[in-house]
Amino acid sequence: MKKLKLQITGMTCEHCAKSAEEALNALAGVKASVSFDEGLAKVESAGEVDPGQLLKAVESKGYGASLLDDEGKVMSGGNGDELKVAIVGTGSGAFAAAIKAVEGGAQVTIIEGGEVIGGTCVNVGCVPSKIMIRAAHIAHLQAHHDFEGIPLHQPTIDRTAMVRQQQARVEELRHAKYESILESNPGINLLRGWARFQDTHTLIVSQADGSEKTVTADRILLATGARPAIPAIPGLKDTPYWTSTEALIAEKIPEHLVVIGASVVALELAQAFLRLGAKVTILARSVFLSKEDPAIGEGLVKVFEEEGAQVLLHTLPDSVAYDGKQFILPTKAGEIRCDQLLVATGRQPNTERLDLDKAGIATGRNGAITIDDHMRTSVDHVYAAGDCTDQPQYVYVAAAAGTRAAINMTGGDAALDLTAMPAVVFTEPAVGTVGLTEQQANEQGIETDSRTLELENVPRALANFDTRGFIKLVTEKDTGRLIGAQVLAAEAGEIIQTAVLAIRNRMTVEDLAGQLFPYLTMVEGLKLCAQTFNKDVSQLSCCAG
């Protein structure tokens, strides 16, 4: 009696396991049992059985399958020609690709040069920043709200305790979403070290002990992420400035924090520190969120100034110096002194160590790897995903790109369509955008129509006693089809996804206005804004259909 084991991926319930089991048992001479909990199939056969038939039987039901050896490691389908995939990086794009590639039958080597796995989002980006922002929001509400009968209270901030709790959650999520996957998925092997190309199919990995290891792969995915970009301001590099990485784990709130930058990271952290008790000055090279509809930046400037921040637009320091206690920044608005400086002026792709020229891989501005909508680089079998590419730098874009790259590396055909990509800035009010602004549409030769709804017309905003912001919808004038939405509002991140679905499904504003929206929700503002294309919503009753 011959015994084999298969690793099965993609199962979501016991029914999936039963389906895979039935497919295996339908083969002549095969007796199989499949465990959903273990993700394993145990197969017995009276005579010789082709491992390829076993794999195909499972795959016919929509699941991934790999043959395991006696030690439980993924092996080839019996003929030694299993596809070998090398992935450089261990962030969201890398792991999404690794998991999907294993499901597609590949043997995956994932390479990491840093101390921890998980990339930017979980370690030094999305997760810690949103924890800090939420904590600052709670502190702000205690001292500033508009509800009578509830006393205002200025909380005492224990920043050390905040950071301890924050980092504990970071470690918990890193283990759950990254480290445990390596432990439980034998098809993914982690190799520590910094990778560079020797030729188009070969990577040289420099390890911590000084040794080098050569990795040869049929397909290669580059998912090396990005790091904070530092502007060439005289004197800056010789000072103890913060990037977002240091700011997020700082255990002391500065007395006066100067922030250089006015995009997403700069504004999110500036408001958080402001609400935790720091005096904050923001130096913007141009305006707030310069790539968005101008009204969004203008609205946020007003909010920040109302909360006590000093905002200097079209202003950068001529130089930066540090005297041991203070940073000195001469500007056209006068000399500014502060005890801490945060530089948040964008991110730089991590590609310079890769020796891309040895593989002939094309790059664009700032070293970003040029890819098409299938995540292919200029070299057919080399793919790239995430912040190291010329795609938008969002973790969900990276994950989606990684998954699609893996499908393509293992013989599939998957493109990534970013025409309805949502973006959120977690200030308060928050910013949510999707599709085209009026200016972007006009630059593409699209004639537009638009409406802007102030939040004083949204019942939930009135009930919240917070009417800061607006909802704007942009349409193709001839058809009325929704092509863009810009939202400045509390919970804009929750509102915007409805607009994403409307754009994805090519809905008109008339279609949107006719949908049922639950009353006293912020997302109802989308319906009300859609109605303004044909009605005066101030003359409608509550929840008018």
How much helix, strand and coil, in percent to the nearest 5, is found in the chain? 35, 25, 40
Q: Is 128 left (phi over 0), alpha (psi -120 to 50) or beta?
A: alpha
Burial class (CB in 10 A: 0-12, 13-18, 19+), 336: buried
Measured between alpha carbons, how far is 337 from 487 in angstroms, rounded to an integer?
Answer: 35
- The pLDDT of residue 501 is above 60: yes
Least confident of 42-56, 301-315, 334-348: 42-56
Domains and CATH numbers, the chain: 2-78 (3.30.70.100), 86-120+169-227+348-409 (3.50.50.60), 236-345 (3.50.50.60), 423-539 (3.30.390.30)
Closest-CA residue to 115 (of 193, 228, 204): 193
Closest-CA residue to 68 (of 140, 160, 4): 4
**Per-residue pLDDT tens over the stretch 174-211:** 999 999 999 999 999 999 999 999 999 999 999 999 99
**Per-residue pLDDT tens over the stretch 335-352:** 999 999 999 999 999 999
- The pLDDT of residue 77 is above 60: no
DSSP code string of 76-105:
-SSSS---EEEEE--SHHHHHHHHHHHHTT
**Per-residue pLDDT tens over the stretch 263-297:** 999 999 999 999 999 999 999 999 999 999 999 99
Span 254-261, average pLDDT: 98
Question: How confident is the prediction for the chain on average, in pLDDT?
Answer: 94
Q: What is the band of 81 on the pLDDT scale with cuts at 50, 70, 90? A: low
Is-catalytic flag, 126?
yes
Report strand pairing: 226-228 vs 334-338. unpaired
Is-catalytic flag, 542?
yes
Query: Do residues 61 and 50 lie in contact, with contact meaning Cβ atoms separated by under 8 Å?
Result: no
Neighbours of 103 (CB within 10 A): 24
Query: Do residues 258 and 336 lie in contact, with contact meaning Cβ atoms separated by under 8 Å?
Result: yes
Helix (H, G, I), strand (E, B) or coil at 130: helix
**Per-residue pLDDT tens over the stretch 424-441:** 999 999 999 999 999 999
Is-catalytic flag, 543?
yes
Higher confidence at residue 313 or residue 45?
A: 313
Neighbours of 42 (CB within 10 A): 16
Is-catalytic flag, 132?
no
Measured between alpha carbons, how far is 372 from 128 in angstroms, rounded to an integer?
Answer: 31
* Catalytic member of 75, 126, 322, 396: 126
Query: Do residues 337 and 328 lie in contact, with contact meaning Cβ atoms separated by under 8 Å?
Result: yes
Measured between alpha carbons, how far is 306 from 274 in angstroms, rounded to an integer?
Answer: 11
Is-catalytic flag, 13?
yes
Query: pLDDT at position 106, please?
Result: 96
Six-digit token string for 47 = 């005579």
Query: pLDDT at position 59, please?
Result: 77
Neighbours of 279 (CB within 10 A): 16
Is-catalytic flag, 11?
yes
* Catalytic member of 63, 241, 383, 394: 63
Neighbours of 92 (CB within 10 A): 31
- The pLDDT of residue 545 is above 90: no
Size (the chain), residues: 545
Measured between alpha carbons, how far is 82 from 76 in angstroms, rounded to an integer?
Answer: 5
Helix (H, G, I), strand (E, B) or coil at 397: helix
Measured between alpha carbons, how far is 289 from 297 in angstroms, rounded to an integer?
Answer: 6
Closest-CA residue to 406 (of 100, 52, 49, 47): 100
Query: pLDDT at position 177, please?
Result: 96
Query: Do residues 501 and 527 lie in contact, with contact meaning Cβ atoms separated by under 8 Å?
Result: no
Q: What is the band of 60 on the pLDDT scale with cuts at 50, 70, 90? A: confident
* Catalytic member of 1, 75, 121, 421: 121
* Catalytic member of 75, 322, 396, 543: 543
Helices (H), 251-339: 264-275, 294-306
Span 242-261, average pLDDT: 98
- The pLDDT of residue 526 is above 70: yes
Question: pLDDT over 90 for what percent of the chain?
Answer: 86
Six-digit token string for 440 = 């972007």
- The pLDDT of residue 80 is above 60: no
In this structure, what DSSP letter does residue 11 have? -
